[in-house]
Structure formats: structure tokens, C-alpha cells
Structure 1
Amino acid sequence: MTGPVTTTDLRTRLAGLMPGVRSDLEALVRIQSVSADPARLDQVEESARVTAELFAAEGVDVEIVRAFDGAPPAVIGEKKGPEGAPTVLLYAHHDVQPENDHADWDSPPWEPTERDGRLYGRGAADDKAGIITHLAALRAFGDELPVTVRLFIEGEEEVASATLPQLLKKYEDRLRSDVIVIADSGNWDIGVPALTTSLRGLIRVDVELRTLTHAVHSGMWGGLEPDAIMALVRLLDTLWDADGGSAIEGLVSGPAADVDYPEERLRAESGAIPGLSWVGSGPAVERLWTKPAVTVTGFDAPKVDGASNTLSPVARARVTVRIAPGDTGENAVACLQAHLEKNVPWGAELSTKVVDTGEPIAIDATGPAYDAARAAFTEAWDGTPPVDMGVGGSIPFIAEFLESFPAASVLVTGVEDPDTRAHGPNEGLHLAEFEKVLLAEALLLRNLGA
């Protein structure tokens, strides 16, 4: 390409690149890079190697790096643009969630399969499509890259990015950029793009109650001694108010973006059974994006099969609290701990263990970089402007980027849509929307370069 790069140029170029882009994505999906599974860490290494090779083939000076020996592999690199052009850091991650029970999938999770316009497979969207989005944008420009691109493809996002702070500090000079594009979120709907401007944080705390020194016969002692399951159920019930909203005092709540989330769409996308009532109060987007939410995500107690007629001496639950933008993990842990201590029933012994925390994020999405992004998205989606949306889930590492590079504009984008089913069975990438995402990122780089 010579002269100014037009939108038509980029559309034509990307259309020609799509077969190769699709092939590269499918090859990445076949790599079982489950960072949470020690038995498949060799596959995480393989995905880092293949990712590095893909970008090296596009002229990126790449290196596989680690925070320390034995840490998960990340891919960093750089491809220079014109002298004086902005520097843009492109982030994605190459590790994926476990696939869990293959019987829950309609096609093999590690064999990418197209059905009804979607490409199914673990990581097809989250987040190997994010990697390929960056790759396709570089291919679209070839040697006429309008900005200097720096690359950071992480290998431990799905296990809480434990060594990310060390990586950012160790390679700070090679990652510092004017704009950071984080391709790990989604769009508002099919045909409606979005910029993610807020995300909830989270805390996970294991809560254990003990009422007895050992199990005893339920017939001899039931009705006098409270068993641990009984006590734990009573304690957990205090975490919610009468509407099912959080009853933990001291947690932050706030307003959400003025976005309509229709009832029929909520029911279709949430998987709610017919007749199910919602919990909490206020607009749906506030309950999903800017209010705390309490969930019990695990419970340790005797199994139903083989259970004996005894009073259980100890029971344990994992309590997850999604915390709203403006709150902190430290405050949320303190509030939960105080609530639990106040409400322990019958003198049971309480012990808690913080599993992990992640900070919520609120992004000030104003300024030239955001203007460039909104223009790019509007053009890629044929005149439909992006929605500024919140996300109820958490991407804790974004806080690390904001802290490490406070002068950078952070753009949170992604390939997902409401039916992507990331982390679950039948994760799928909407292929027509994916093509728009590719064009949008290429237009974004062009706009930033201008």
C-alpha cells in the first residue's frame, strides 16, 4: 500500500488475510494451554512458542520471557513505526481455562469446529482470538505500520496473573507505551461494539465453621448440638438481604452507565429457567456492573452418596464477593470478616482464609486515544457507535497496568459477545463479528498514527 491507508484498503487487505488468520487461530485453539493444570504446562510453553513465531513472521522482534525461572511464559516484542509516532502496547493472553467435562460440549473442545457462523473450541474467543486480532492488524499494514507496536501476550491470566507485577517491573522500559490496548473483553451485542470502561473486582475467602471435636450420632445428639453444616448454612444466609442483594455492610455501590438491558435479552443470555426471579434491587446494569454480589462457589461437606447419620463437626464454603468500582479488595475483605464474626451462630468456631483478591476498575474513557477508538469502532461497524459498558466480571491485571503506566490511555476491547460462553462448555467465536473486530483494531492503529 502507498499513500494514506483508507478504510477500503484495510477491508480489502483483511478479507484476503482471513483464510490465514482463521487457520492460525485454529492452530492455537488446538494447543491445550491450560495454565491451571500442572500436567499441561508443556502446552502452555508450546502456545508461547507458537505465538512468538507468528509475530516474528510479521517482523516483530519477539522474546519469550518470565518473571523468574519456572514462572509462566509471556511473549513480548516490538515492531517500530515511523519516527515520532505513538507507541501502542497490544495485550492478550495465550493461556486458557480448563475444558472440564467433554460430555458438556457439542463438539470436541480442542478441535475448532464451525457451526451456524461460530467457531467453537476452548480459547476460540478467550483469548486466542485476542492474540489473532493483534496479529491480523500487523499483517494488514505490513511494513507500513503507522505506529510503533509493543507486544505483551501473557501466559497466566487464567490463574490470576500472579507474576504480572514482577514482569511489568522487570520489562517496564520495553512495555511503556502511550496507549495500551487490552483485547480481553467483549462487545455489547452482535452488531453493537463496545469499550469496557468499568469492571468489578473480587475477593475469594474460604469460610470454615467447627461445632464439634468429632462426628457424633445424629439420633443421640441431634436436636441438642448444632452440626457444622447447619451452622454454616445459617451463617451464609446472613450474607444476603431479603431481596437477595448483598447484606455485607461497608461495601461500595454506585451508578452504572445509562444502558438499557431488555428483560427478554437478560433471560436469553443468562440461562435463567422460566419463571426465575432476579435478586437484588435497582437497574439490571447496576446489579451486574456497579453493585457488590455475593456467591458461594464451593462447599465442603459429606457427599449425599454414602452419607451416614452423623452430625458433621466441620464444614467449609468458598465465598466470592464481586466488588464495585470505587471499592478495594482490602476493604471488602475487612467488611466480610466483620460480618462473619458478627453473625456466627451458636458459638461455633470461625476460621477464614483469603484465597485471592482483585481490584475493581473505573476508566476515564476521554481523550484523543478514546476518540480514535470510537471513530474506528463506528467505522468498522458501519456507522454504529460503541457503547461504553461495564463488566460484572473481573480482570484484575488491568489495575496493574494502570499503576505501572499511569500516563497511558488504556483501551479495553475484545472479541466476545453475549453468547460467547467464555470459561464454559461450547465457548464460541462469532466469526462475522470477529471480522469487524479485526478491522476496528487496524483502523484504531491508523487513527492513532494520524
Structure 2
Amino acid sequence: MTSSDSQTSEDLAVEEAVLESVATGLPRTLGDLGGLVRIPGIAWPSFDQTQLERSADAIAELARDTGIFDDVRVLRAAIPETDEFGQPAVLATRAARNGRPTILLYAHHDVQPPGDDALWETPPFEPTVRDGRLYGRGAADDKAGVMAHIASLRAVADAVGDDLDLGVALFIEGEEEYGSRSFAQFLSDNSDALRADAIVVADSGNWDADTPGLTVSLRGNARFTLTVRTLEHASHSGMYGGAVPDAMMATIKLLNSLWDADGAVAVDGLDQRDAATPEYSEETLRDEAGLPDGVSPIGRDSILSRIWNKPAVTVIGVDATSVASASNTLSPEVTVVISARVAPGQSGADAYAALERHLRAHAPFGAELTFSDVDLGDGFLVDTSGWAVALTRQAMADGYGAAPVDLGVGGSIPFIADLVREFPEAQILVTGVEDPHARAHSPNESLHLDTFRHAVRTEALMLTRMNRITR
């Protein structure tokens, strides 16, 4: 790729026009975002699946209205090894012209379930603005990512007009929150349409509300269901307690072996990455995570190294006798869901194998262990030496008015491994619209509106500058 090292007065004038278009178009953009938030598109089978069709159709219409695409379709791909198809995705494409590169813009339109409505200060699917934030499920994750793409494309099309030669593929997935089960097949089915020189994954966060972040590392994941069984049937706790191990006792002892006294993971075979991290105080952690004064952080070394570069193990679900149904009974079995975050550089499969070995070796009293519903994803490390990374960092600095920070992220985006496998030559840029107080996946999810405005400015500048590159 080649481009001029300096901007001409004409280039600067075009960029000013692009930023002006972003500003004037922001009310429309936020209105469209609010319309998407009102659609409760959730990929879990227990929810109304027609809402995802509504959401996909609405985004396809937004893509058509930009006027830049040669083709806009709503498609589904098969879920491998099943007779099912995945949720509807939007694929919009325009061919590159005059030797320009092609950029693939990714986001997802499905959202997490709202959870307990009583925990929301305003209804989860009624977009509400207060104190400079837009509240609603999906307002940040990831319908704001969708609208960042749409808004930046609108601004560039408006300012550049017939001189827009950049190739663009817009891919808006419909099941990211439900495991992207058809993602790899979708890439394979549409590889020619999706092939690009650079890929923007707008599904991450920023350093803070005012400082952009480029995500350069992601942890992988290993999630599975574990059933612990110690009895053939429930028994009277008075008659046999003290001689017979119940499943809850065995489960508690077994799970306790996963961490040491500091709360750090104590599983042989789980790797950690040695990499420097920026300064980040315990006070900031308490503020952003909601950690009360009386509760101490866990782990050792710098706080961000614990989140970005080391493994974490969390028990995210338990099936046992409920408090309301409690009786003086020894439970025969308990089932838990364990979610592990895997250090960048270690595969999800290797991490799961280490966890299974550990749990089997530490099963107390000969408890029977059953593993099921294993879901694995690999982490990601960005090659930051490419032209697209340099261009994006500069666009962030100009779009936000602040130098970007290279971020690690403790969460996982497993499908990035599929992108790397299908398009090994493409540079992958993981960006986002969230600030640390977005509360994605939680009640009262919200979008910081000024962060969103800067994110749209950034992407519009990035697309404008890519339009000047010769492939």
C-alpha cells in the first residue's frame, strides 16, 4: 500500500467536510440508534426470533440508504454439524475502484437478554438519554458499533461523493452474543464478498470516555458445564450427615482448589503472558468495576496484567437446591458452569485440557465428574506493524483529540480466530465505542454520547484516508 506522507490542502478540505457531515448527521444517527435499541433482537431460542429478522431488515435498509453499496442482502449460514441455520446477518458490498483497498466493517446487531427488568432504572428496550449517556440494551454493545459504521459511511459518501473509490464490505452479524455458531460457515460461504485488506471489528472499548483505545490483545475462553455426583439418590442429612459426602460439599472443596489464597488461578498448565501494562490504580478499578471499599482485589502483580495477560476462572452458574426448596437433605449431585479466560497466546483447547486435568486430579472423596457443553475460543494478538494500524492510530488521535492507548482486553472475541484463518493477509483492527462505565451485558447498559461522537469522527477520518491509498 502506498500513500502520500503529507496531506494537501485539498485533502484537508475533504476531511473538514467529512467531520462537518459527521456533526450535522449526529441527530439522525442517534435517532436511528434509538430505533435499533427498541428492537429486542436476542438470539437465545427462548426469545422471539422474529425480532432478529426485524433488526437485520432495519440495518439492511440503513445500508441501502447510504447510497454507496452495489449489493445489500440479509443472509443466513448453516450451523455446522446440525440441520439448523444461524441468525440473519447483513452483508453489503461495494467493489474497490482505481486501485484502492477494500475495508471490511464488522459489528453485531443481536444483544444480551435484559435480565431482571427491576434492576433497570428505565425500560431496557426504551432508549433513554440522561447525563450525557444513552441507556438501553444494545445501546453500547453493539448497536452503537453498527451505527458508527453507518454514520461514518454516510459522512464520507456525503463529503467525497463520486471520488469515493474505496472498496467496502459491511458485515453485521446476528448471533455474536449466542456464540457465533454459524460465523465460520458464513465466512466460507461469502469469502469472495468479505475479502479485504483491513478488517475493523467495532466491538471493544476505550481507555476512558475521552481517550481512544486500539485493542491489541484479547484473552481466549474455555467454558464448560461440570456435574459433581457423590450419591445415587438424596439422603437424610441427619441420618447420614458426617459419614456421607454430599455433592455440594464436594463441589465447594473442588472449586476452592482452582484459586490460591490471593484469589489467583492455581491450575498447572494455564499460561500467562509477560507484557507491560499502563498505569492503572486500585481506585480506578473500584470505580469502574463497582468494587466496594471493604472488598479487596484478587491476584498479584499489576492490576491490568491480571485482567489482560493472566488467566481467570469464574463460576457463572450453579444448579442446586434453591433456598426456597431447602430441606435437610444430602444432595446427590450439583452442576456448575465454569468460564475461564485464557491468556493471549494459549489456545482455548490447551487451557480446557489443563482445567479438566486439574479438576479430575482434585476431585474429593472420589466424586464422579462429568464434563459437557464445552465451548472454546482462542485469544488474539495484533501485529501492530502494518499500515492500517498506523493509519488508525492517527485517525483516533485526530478524531478524539487525544493520543490512543494500545489496550489489552480481558474479554474474548473468539470469532477473530476465524477471520485470521479465512483472511490471513488482512490486517485486523479491533476498535469500539464503549467507555469503562458502559456496563455491557449488565442492567443499565449505556453509551457515552461524546465517546460515540468521537468514535464516528475517527472512523470517518480512517475511511477518508484509506480512500487515498493505492493498493
Q: TM-score band, normalised by the shorter chain?
A: over 0.9
Q: Which moved more, 1:252-261 or 1:270-279?
A: 252-261
1:245/1:281 contact within 8 Å kept: yes
Shift of 1:162: 0.6
Shift of 1:80: 3.8
1:437 aligns with 2:455: yes
Where does 1:140-159 land on structure 2 (aligned, <5 Å)? 140-142=155-157, 143=161, 144-159=163-178
1:238 alignment partner, one of 257, 260, 271 = 257
Q: Which moved more, 1:35-44 or 1:440-449?
A: 35-44
2:128 alignment partner, one of 94, 113, 138 = 113
Shift of 1:3: 4.9
Task: Give distance in 1, aligned partners of 2:370 and 2:277.
Answer: 41
Shift of 1:38: 3.6
1:138/1:145 contact within 8 Å kept: no
5+ residue gaps in structure 2?
1-8, 79-83
Shift of 1:146: 4.8
1:186 aligns with 2:205: yes
* Alignment-derived partner of residue 88 in structure 2: 73
Shift of 1:63: 0.6
Task: Give distance in 2, aligned partners of 1:125 and 1:236.
Answer: 34
Task: Give distance in 2, aligned partners of 1:39 and 1:378.
Answer: 41
Q: SS in structure 1 opposite 2:129?
A: strand
| AA in 2 matched with 1:101 | D
* Alignment-derived partner of residue 416 in structure 1: 434
| AA in 1 matched with 2:34 | E
Shift of 1:207: 1.4
Residues 127-171 of structure 1: CA distance to partner in whole angstroms, max 9, x if unpaired? 111111111111112234351111110001000101101000010
1:29 aligns with 2:37: yes
Shift of 1:81: 4.7
Residues 51-75 of structure 1: CA distance to partner in whole angstroms, max 9, x if unpaired? 0010011122211111137421111
1:257/1:388 contact within 8 Å kept: no
Where does 1:262-411 land on structure 2 (aligned, <5 Å)? 262-382=281-401, 384-411=402-429
Task: Give distance in 2, aligned partners of 1:223 and 1:258.
Answer: 49
1:82 aligns with 2:97: yes
1:40 alignment partner, one of 27, 30, 48 = 48
* Alignment-derived partner of residue 425 in structure 1: 443
1:256/1:390 contact within 8 Å kept: no
Q: SS in structure 1 opposite 2:364?
A: coil
Task: Give distance in 2, aligned partners of 1:245 and 1:15.
Answer: 46
2:132/2:449 contact within 8 Å kept: yes
Residues 363-400 of structure 1: CA distance to partner in whole angstroms, max 9, x if unpaired? 11222111100110001112x11100000011111111
1:146/1:445 contact within 8 Å kept: no
* Alignment-derived partner of residue 61 in structure 2: 53
1:252 alignment partner, one of 267, 271, 277 = 271
* Alignment-derived partner of residue 101 in structure 1: 116
Shift of 1:37: 4.1
| AA in 2 matched with 1:397 | F
Q: SS in structure 2 opposite 1:402?
A: helix
Q: Could you state the TM-score of these two structures normalised by the residue count of structure 1?
A: 0.97
Identity %: 49
Task: Give distance in 1, aligned partners of 2:353 and 2:188.
Answer: 29
Task: Give distance in 2, aligned partners of 1:258 and 1:447.
Answer: 30
| AA in 2 matched with 1:47 | S
Shift of 1:227: 0.6
| AA in 2 matched with 1:127 | D
Shift of 1:264: 1.3
5+ residue gaps in structure 1?
none
1:146/1:446 contact within 8 Å kept: no
Q: Which moved more, 1:328-337 or 1:37-46?
A: 37-46
* Alignment-derived partner of residue 135 in structure 1: 150
Shift of 1:303: 1.0
Shift of 1:79: 2.6
Shift of 1:357: 1.1
1:256/1:285 contact within 8 Å kept: no
Q: SS in structure 2 opposite 1:132?
A: helix
1:63 aligns with 2:73: yes
Task: Give distance in 2, aligned partners of 1:341 and 1:193.
Answer: 44
Q: SS in structure 2 opposite 1:422?
A: coil
Q: SS in structure 1 opposite 2:105?
A: strand
2:201/2:430 contact within 8 Å kept: yes
1:37/1:98 contact within 8 Å kept: no
Task: Give distance in 2, aligned partners of 1:38 and 1:3.
Answer: 54
Q: Could you state the TM-score of these two structures normalised by the residue count of structure 2?
A: 0.93
* Alignment-derived partner of residue 6 in structure 2: none
Shift of 1:348: 1.4
Q: Which moved more, 1:320-329 or 1:141-150?
A: 141-150
Shift of 1:447: 1.9
1:256/1:289 contact within 8 Å kept: no
